[in-house]
Amino acid sequence: MTGDKETEPALVVGSEDQAASPLVATKADSPTAPPPEREPLPSYTDQAATLATFTPHRPFPQVLSAYSSSLKPIKLCGSSADDVLFAVETHTGYSGKTVLGTKPGLLLHNGTSKQDPILAAVGDTSQLAARAYVFSPESIILLPPAADIPSAPMATEYMHARTSGDDVLFFFEVEVGLGEKLHRRQFIWKKAKKGVDPDVKQGGFRLEWRPSVAGDDPGSLGVSSSSPVDDQWETVALLEWGHLLSRKMFTVQFLGSGLSGKLGERWRLMVVMTALRLLLLKVKGRTAKSHVAAGEKLYKN
């Protein structure tokens, strides 16, 4: 599937505090305000034949980085900027085309060109939700179907933001495992401040899960009021931002169970897509604790 011919705006990564929008009062400033309505996804009838199959054209390496500049779109690369693995396309949503329809976000192509089929996508749940002043806590992720059926629609997943004490958390669920033995588990991106976490020196996130949780029922994997910092939690990936003036936007490194391969390639794809989403949220100041906390107050049940 080719792109929708939209002009790709440059991503400018600066201080999160500079990018953050002020907490302006709106008519929605109520604990019972409904979340922004999710816009429906486009029909897949005409798109199924051009969607990529489950398998990425190249496996995700232990470490991969996203590169961009003011004149070039994002590229996911391996050992260097010259080792291009996947092309990433910006989708504004104004054309209403591609798998995201009117939802703004990013498209991951299964190859090094925008002419390659779309492997996955990530973005806001609607045009309204993309506005910083709405404080939407939700993100949408589109993955290939869990079963490699070309005619099936893409699987729709969600990532949710919340705070816990001093922590900012983004959590999602996805199938993990190898072959036909897939089961859903929950993972949490925990924000790491620059200069505080020695493994994420430039700031970023740690991805954690609880491998010791009994059973595979996702209902037993809910986020508690405590932060995921005890011995039951394992770090399976690190997301580190690039230097301010560098072409490198971020680096993702797989660790532990995430490095061993037992969580599967589908899980790695989900990690990459949520990392791209966190990049967009950071650029707009939407990973700041004040922003996430405002969304919790607006849309709490």
| Domain ranges within the chain, ordered by starting residue | 46-299
What pLDDT is recorded for position 203?
97
Distances (CA, A) of 282 to 6, 87, 241, 257, 301: 22, 20, 10, 27, 25
DSSP-derived 3-state class of residue 238:
strand
| Residue 130 zone, left/alpha/beta (φ > 0; ψ -120 to 50; rest) | alpha
What pLDDT is recorded for position 11?
56
CA angle, 221 then 254 then 213, to 5°: 20
Nearest to 106 by CA among 283, 293, 292, 259: 283
User: Where are any strands of DSSP class E within 111-233?
Assistant: 118-123, 138-143, 155-164, 167-176, 183-192, 204-209
What pLDDT is recorded for position 66?
98
Compute the Cα dihedral for 274, 77, 249, 104 and give only its sign: negative
What pLDDT is recorded for position 267?
96
Q: What is the pLDDT of residues 153-182, one digit of tens each?
A: 889 999 999 999 999 999 999 999 887 778
Alpha-carbon distance of 162 to 225, in angstroms, equals 11
- Could you give the percent of the chain with pLDDT greater than 90? 59
| Distance from the Cα of residue 162 to its chain's centroid | 15
DSSP state of 226: S
What pLDDT is recorded for position 17?
39
What pLDDT is recorded for position 228?
46
Segments of the chain scoring below 70 in pLDDT: 1-54, 147-151, 213-231, 301
Nearest to 205 by CA among 171, 244, 177, 158: 171
What pLDDT is recorded for position 221?
37
